[in-house]
Amino acid sequence: MSLRINNTAPDFTAETTQGSINFHEWIGDGWAVLCSHPKDFTPVCTTELGTLAGLQGEFEKRNCKILGISVDPVTNHEKWSKDIEASHGHAVNYPLIGDPELKIVKQYDMLPGDAGDTSEGRTPADNATARSVFVIGPDKKIKATITYPMSTGRNFDEILRLVDSCQLTAQKKVATPANWKQGDDVIILPSVSDEDARATYPDGWQQPLPYIRVVPQPK
């Protein structure tokens, strides 16, 4: 099944390094980032999960939980986590899903339906497309998704920026322009009428083009 932005994120129950979870229940009324990687004990993935562990507090400030997943068993995750902490100085305190039967990665369209039903014998290259990020909102809908090649480590500062933007849109009905960062000007959504916009922004807005209404980032 192909997944698109605004689709409901598939629910599942899975074993993790922190016990069994039901995904939607685990998210609760906050946000979540589901982050997959092709295989444990590989170099780029090790740098990514170590970096993500160091940024966990930043995600928590945003009421956003982190959940990792690969097709490796949980026992491998537990062993690998020691390497991650040793090399990056941060313990992996977020749960890692073991999906050795490939059920969840197929649900999330990260591997094709004919990929089989076991991780046994699979190489990182076999799992190359299982390298995605899904940002999921409190309504359990997919707000954003990005897939990376195996050779490119993910920029988690950018993923934090993406979460910030998605949350701002959900809360304030504004969009964020190219290269936006916290505190920069934003754009009133086209779906908001001028009348409704004036009620929210009585001082008005800059309008470089008829369809662009720029305002300071709302508090």
Residue 146's contacts (CB-CB under 8 Å, 6 or more residues apart) are 132, 133, 154, 159, 162
55 vs 66: CA distance, rounded Å = 10
> Closest Cα to residue 33, out of 156, 117, 178?
156
Residue numbers annotated as active site: 45
Handedness of CA 16, 22, 25, 31 (dihedral sign): positive
Three-state DSSP class for 104?
helix
174 vs 57: CA distance, rounded Å = 26
95 vs 165: CA distance, rounded Å = 25
Contact of 174 with 186, CB cutoff 8 Å: yes
- What b/e sequence results for 80-93 when a residue is b if at least 16 CB atoms lie within 10 Å of its CB, and e otherwise? bbeebbeebebebe
